[in-house]
Amino acid sequence: FYLTPSQVNSILKANEYSFKVPEFDGKNVSSVLGFDSNQLPANAPIEDRRSAATCLQTRGMLLGVFDGHAGCACAQAVSERLFYYIAVSLLPHETLLEIENAVESGRALLPILQWHKHPNDYFSKEASKLYFNSLRTYWQELIDLNSGETTDVREALINAFKRLDNDISLEAQVGDPNSFLNYLVLRVAFSGATACVAHVDGIDLHVANTGDSRAMLGVQEEDGSWSAVNLSYDHNAQNEREVERLKMEHPKSEEKSLVKQDRLLGLLMPFRAFGDVKFKWSIELQKRVVESGPDQLNENEYTKFIPPNYYTPPYLTAEPEVIHHKLRPQDKFLVLATDGLWETMHRQDVARIVGEYLTGVHHQQPIAVGGYKVTLGQMHGLLTERRARISSVFEDQNAATHLIRHAVGNNEFGTVDHERLSKMLSLPEELARMYRDDITIIVVQFNSHVIGAY
Amino acid sequence: AARMFLRLLSDIQWRAAHPKWRRMTSSQRGTSTTAEPHPVSLPAQAQVVICGGGIMGTSVAYHLSKMGWKDIVLLEQGRLAAGTTRFCAGIVSTARPVSVELKMAHYSNKLYQQLEQETGVQTGYMKTGSISLAQTQDRLISLKRIASSLNVMGIPCEIISPKKVLQLHPLINIHDLVGAMYVPEDALVSSANVSLALATAASRNGVQIHERTCVSHVTIQKGRVTGVETDRGRIQCEYFVNCAGQWAYELGHSGEEPVHIPLHACEHFYLLTHPLKEPLSSSLPTIVDPDGRIYIRNWQGGILSGGFEKNPKPLFTEGRNQLEIQNLQEDWDHFGPLLGALLRRMPGLEALQIMQLVNCPESFTPDMRCIMGESPTARGYFVLAGMNSAGVSYGGGAGKYLAEWIVNGYPSENVWPLDLKRFGTLQSSRTFLRHRVMEVMPLMCDLKVPRWDFQTGRQLRTSPLYDRLDAQGARWMEKHGFERVKYFVPPGSDLLDLDHSKTFYKPDWFDIVGSEVKCCKEAVCVIDMSSFTKFEISSTGDQALESLQYLFSNDLDVPVGHVVHTGMLNEKGGYENDCSIARLSKRSFFMISPTDQQVHCWTWLKNRLPDDSNLVLEDVTWKYTALNLIGPRAVDVLSELSYAPMTAEHFPSLFCKEMSVGYANGIRVMSITHTGEPGFVLYIPIEYALHVYNEVMNMGQKYGIRNAGYYALRSLRIEKFFAFWGQDLDAFTTPMECGREFQVKLDKGMEFLGQEALWEQKQNGVYKRFTMFILEDHDTDMDLWPWWGEPIFRNGRYVGKTTSSAYSYTLERHVCLGFVHHFDEKTGEELVVTTDFINQGEYEIDIAGQRFQAKAKLYPFSSLFTQRRRKDEVELSGYQRE
């Protein structure tokens, strides 16, 4: 049993989304041309989330991927809320005041974000009031704190990450009279999510990362070839600096138990994350909240379970590492992706595949026989291989889809193998997670002309 | 690299061979590009100037000079035979589906064979034979059809088994073959050398050849060629011949008055290899594998293989572009599928080493046939171009026909299928040409089944009813850019299947057309026939009548309101056009003729009508929508809509009257249907078209009215033995030969074109006779269907070919129409065909090699058809070509 190529395509393209920055007077003055995004589930339902929005009260565009674990509640909440926290953190004092006054007097609010969403990217209606109130509290505090200084993007990103995680934690502790909401905030807090967020404003690119999703810059060298530059550090056991950080933050006695089998306390893969209050709250607090919580929570073995060797919480933080990069004309695109992609593909291959996709196939140098000795058979073999490469490019109108096709379907020769692709995509739900992870990808394409003019 | 390559294909010894040529010093040969003064200046005048020194130009020069014309100058912008001719693969193949093309190729082959002896120039002529392979049964059928027509021409040709293929060519993989066609006399030449040989002979006959001379434009005054402007000065001339190959379009447009030559270049690739370890024999047959889209010939011990890919690359759309020319490079990725096909056909070649991939642009035309003839707008401006990559095969014959055309005023064969005047300005759009040639080039290899239509460049000319008809299930075909309905798919039928059916057998629209025919016979049908060419000729005095009386063979001095069917004949009595002419008033006439006559007929009349400002010829084709109401109830529908009696007493057959239909006044109603069935054609000013159509359909409902298409019309006209111009009739057919003597008034009291020739035929008899054949032992469901061009056998001997065929739903038999000749059994000389000769034979029709018994008839089955008419009223006219 095989899926036909068109069935494969309909699966791969189900979640694809593209956004082009609109042009004015035939010109796009933004440093971003647009972006392609897509996700392919392995879990059912998928635990990855993605977000993209343009800041309306400040300049810049926000893009992020979120990899949820222990359910999708936390990733969902972060995908809905984080950009508002960032946007608010970036707002100047006067704008904050204006917004607050508008809310106070019941006037229409200035729009803060313009979302670029796929129809499948939903927002929870029930929690919007609750979320809004938390956000409002945040900006009220920002107004009170008015430092008079201009907002630094790095600071803003860090503050927003930390503040949102804090709000998630607080909302779970306080609870909500509405039982649905009460259960929701608890699920959000007890599940977890990593976040990798990029903020692009002119040539200033900031990447804030918490966890093991990754941001990668695609750079075109002078000879036309492609190379990859990492714009984030994975927060996991492979990152020595992270292991060191953990050891610094906890007593020496815990040195051995902190990281076991490459996992935090032997349990958690990412070393930084939103939610996951089981790695943040004290044992007492956890017990109190679970006991007073709804039955569903009480009956859940996972929530009741306390991690072993749990002595000096918190073990986990949502604080991001922020990398600032000044965009250059050779920086052609940025890939944000959850670890589902990076597990299967090397970043160098990602850079090449996306680069060749975006620049079209012209990049395959035409073949010239010239003075070489080539036989008909050799030429035929070469052409067949080239055609396979090209045809896989032509099938996709979306760079993220194209990457997923390679990530799932690549054979040992680095070319997409339809048979393999078909097999991987027709795995039954319960098996899919064994062979692959959720994959979420955003490919942002930069406008070299604008960047060059800075 | 390309330049080096030229040498390889044509090892020319031309310095020694033609010392007489006006050319530059010998050191100029080769790669030097510096311009040196030309040793011989251009003449100030010449009778003929030919532009283009490729195979076409040199062939025209050769044949003109053979016919005794000496005052000829041939101009070549670069070097002789340096364009497409130089790069051409050099395959002379006679296996051509169109009869005149087949004859041209056959003649070319014979010409090239003796050319070396005649001129002393080595042409590389080698009779290798060719094998066309069939991977499918349908392909084999199409090869068998060609084989039948080659055999009756006396060209050896046989259908062979895959095993036999292997015996003839040991490298071929035959596992996927079902059969093949072997033409043993096909040949290979060096096309450049053939061209040089022709030039040599022409030069000896006095033709002046000037290389490196660029024609900038042609001057035309009062509709006649007067001279040529070149970069080396002006030459006055009477005749100009545009043989500029892929530049012919541009050259045509360079003057003040454009000459539209619809062709467009596409890149064409072929591969050359080094010799095999055991070099291939130069006598090994050429392989054509149309299902693999490739051809393969032996070349210097290795192979030369090219093909016609599915995704051609058109070029020079925006005109000549030096940059593009220089960038014509090998494109291996593009050639990949063809290379795959080559290795599948000859797997043993895997280890063969590549020498080069050659990119050589070829020009293609909108209908896959070449372009020759005189410009409709400029007398003396002739064209020969657009060879659809068969230039070598056609070169000799095409040059001969064009030379005859220039010298005699007409060629010795019916070349209408190739005539420039089959096109008009409407095929001249670059966008149209670009799109169309992208369809045409792959078609070179595609299976061509009966009644195929082009898919590109459509919906250019449409009737105002197009959308209405389309919404009712119309399926369309195109003629001269005009969309015409084939048939109407009833609601609920599987549309997809119908559109994709490709078959040599019974088509799946059979029952649909059958029910349309039935409705024409029993009730009433409407066919939109707006595409027909419509002219009005009027004058202040009697000029219109007098001119028309001279140009048409029937008597047009009839009472106002009468419609006359008449041929527009040439000097030899042959049909240049077949028309219905209504006398609208004493001094004005309305003339209906076939759709594709728009340019030809206009030119014919313009060139022959007196230059008199009081005589006006107007093309009113676009002004009228024509609705053909066919069937016994048409009279009821029309009388109810017009409140006028329409019965035969009040509105006899072959009558024309302006009347009101519904609210619309001034509708020109004619009691003809082009089918022999009762009914009317309504010529409606276009703004009333929708109104009248709606009224007719509403009123017709109670009489069982329905829409019908041209397939129904065709079946009706063929079973009634109606000849159609362009299909059955051509410039070499006279009314006497097709039973239309009654449309010729030899004694109408004044001279007319063709009169003398017809007199002679009347006295001496005719040498061919239009005959109707009813297939006897043909199973409509199981057997191959006839199409046209099938050989006719009388008592086992070939006597002619069919020109059209259709299934008659009335007779429940297939009907073929065609011409019977009488060849002397010993000498092959053509003898007079008598009625007895026709009636006393046993006939067979050969469909793709299978012969079916047929009954010959010289008159239609009038008894079978209900309507009775006076004999001279019988309507014998129609205008359609399939």
- Model confidence at B864: pLDDT above 90: no
* Contact yes or no for A387 and B333 at CB 8 A: yes
- Distance between CA A99 and CA A109 in Å, rounded? 6
Tokens of A23: 């042009």
Under the banding of pLDDT at 50, 70 and 90, the label for residue B497 is low
B window 350-369, beta carbon within 8 A of A: 350-354, 356-357
* Contact yes or no for B354 and A375 at CB 8 A: yes
> Taking CA atoms, what residue in B is nearest to A377?
B350
- A-chain residues within 8 Å CB-CB of B271? 376
- Distance between CA B546 and CA A88 in Å, rounded? 94
- Model confidence at B880: pLDDT above 70: no
| B297 DSSP β-pair partners | B304
- Residue B544's pLDDT is 96
**Cα–Cα nearest to B227, from B123, B75, B96, B400:** B75
Q: Which domains does chain B possess?
A: 45-364 (3.50.50.60), 767-881 (2.40.30.110)
**Residue A429: other Cβ atoms inside 10 A:** 10
φ/ψ (deg, to 5) at B698: -65, -50
Under the banding of pLDDT at 50, 70 and 90, the label for residue B871 is very low
Sheet of B314-315: strand order equals B314-315, B264-266, B362-364
User: Taking the C-alpha atoms of B319, B320, B321 and B322 in order, what is their torsion angle to the nearest 10 degrees?
Assistant: 180
- Model confidence at B323: pLDDT above 70: no
- A-chain residues within 8 Å CB-CB of B331? 366
* Contact yes or no for A377 and B351 at CB 8 A: yes
Distance from CA of A187 to the nearest CA of B (A): 54
Residue B820 region by backbone torsions, left for phi larger than 0, else alpha for psi between -120 and 50, else beta: beta
Distance from CA of B351 to the nearest CA of A (A): 5
* Contact yes or no for A384 and B333 at CB 8 A: no
- Quick one: average pLDDT of B479-496? 85
- Quick one: average pLDDT of A414-442? 84
Long-range CB contacts for residues B847-850, cutoff 8 Å, separation at least 24: B847/B145, B847/B783, B847/B784, B847/B785, B847/B786, B847/B790, B848/B141, B848/B142, B848/B144, B848/B145, B848/B148, B848/B504, B848/B784, B849/B144, B849/B145, B849/B147, B849/B148, B849/B159, B850/B783, B850/B784
**Cα–Cα nearest to A238, from A230, A250, A227:** A230
- Residue A393's pLDDT is 60
Q: Please confirm whether the linkage preceding A314 is cis (ω < 30° from 0).
A: yes
Tokens of B560: 């106002």
What are B718-733's pLDDT values in tens digits? Answer: 999 999 999 999 999 9
- What percentage of chain B reaches a pLDDT higher than 70? 91
* Contact yes or no for B350 and A387 at CB 8 A: no
- Quick one: average pLDDT of B257-286? 94
- Model confidence at A42: pLDDT above 70: yes
The pTM assigned to this predicted structure is 0.73
- Distance between CA A331 and CA A337 in Å, rounded? 18
Of A373, A386, A390, which is closest to B353 when you measure between CB atoms?
Answer: A373
> Taking CA atoms, what residue in B is nearest to A370?
B356
- Model confidence at B617: pLDDT above 90: yes
- Residue A119's pLDDT is 85
Residue B537 burial (10 A CB sphere; 0-12, 13-18, 19+): buried
What are B679-725's pLDDT values in tens digits? Answer: 999 999 999 999 999 999 999 999 999 999 999 999 999 999 999 99
* Contact yes or no for B332 and A384 at CB 8 A: no
- Model confidence at B190: pLDDT above 50: yes
Distance from CA of B354 to the nearest CA of A (A): 6
| A326 DSSP β-pair partners | A204
Distance from CA of A418 to the nearest CA of B (A): 20
- Quick one: average pLDDT of B130-140? 96
**Which residues make Cβ contacts (< 8 Å) with residue B558, sequence separation at least 6?**
B564, B583
What are B337-382's pLDDT values in tens digits? Answer: 999 999 999 999 999 999 999 888 899 999 999 999 999 999 999 9
- Quick one: average pLDDT of B274-289? 95
- Quick one: average pLDDT of A221-235? 92
Tokens of B323: 């940059």
Of A373, A375, A383, which is closest to B333 when you measure between CB atoms?
Answer: A383
φ/ψ (deg, to 5) at B609: -75, 145
- Residue B6's pLDDT is 36
Tokens of B744: 């010729």
- Model confidence at B496: pLDDT above 90: no
- Residue B31's pLDDT is 38
Under the banding of pLDDT at 50, 70 and 90, the label for residue B219 is very high
- Model confidence at B277: pLDDT above 80: yes
Question: Across all residues in chain A, what is the average pLDDT?
Answer: 89
| A36 DSSP β-pair partners | A18, A443
* Contact yes or no for B354 and A379 at CB 8 A: yes
- A-chain residues within 8 Å CB-CB of B339? 376, 379-380, 383
- Residue A158's pLDDT is 96
φ/ψ (deg, to 5) at B287: -110, 130
B window 322-341, beta carbon within 8 A of A: 329-333, 335-336, 339-340
* Contact yes or no for A380 and B343 at CB 8 A: yes
- Quick one: average pLDDT of B428-440? 93
* Contact yes or no for B343 and A369 at CB 8 A: no
Q: Which domains does chain A possess?
A: 14-363+436-452 (3.60.40.10)
- Residue B3's pLDDT is 35
Q: Which residue has the higher pLDDT, A280 or A295?
A: A280
Under the banding of pLDDT at 50, 70 and 90, the label for residue B322 is low
* Contact yes or no for A377 and B350 at CB 8 A: yes
Q: Tell me, what's the ipTM?
A: 0.83
**Cα–Cα nearest to B811, from B767, B780, B790:** B780
φ/ψ (deg, to 5) at A58: -130, 175
> If DSSP codes are grouped into helix, strand and coil, which group holds residue A296?
helix
Please name the helix (run of DSSP H) or strand (run of DSSP E) that holds residue A183, with its range, or none: helix A179-190
- Residue B39's pLDDT is 60
Among A21-30, A76-85, A107-116, B40-49, which stretch is predicted with the lowest mean pLDDT?
A: A21-30
**Which residues make Cβ contacts (< 8 Å) with residue B322, sequence separation at least 6?**
none
- Model confidence at B321: pLDDT above 70: no
- What percentage of chain B reaches a pLDDT higher than 90? 83
Under the banding of pLDDT at 50, 70 and 90, the label for residue A428 is confident
- Quick one: average pLDDT of B839-859? 94
- Model confidence at B801: pLDDT above 50: yes
Q: Please confirm whether the linkage preceding B184 is cis (ω < 30° from 0).
A: no
What are A293-342's pLDDT values in tens digits? Answer: 787 777 777 777 889 999 999 999 999 999 999 999 999 999 999 999 99
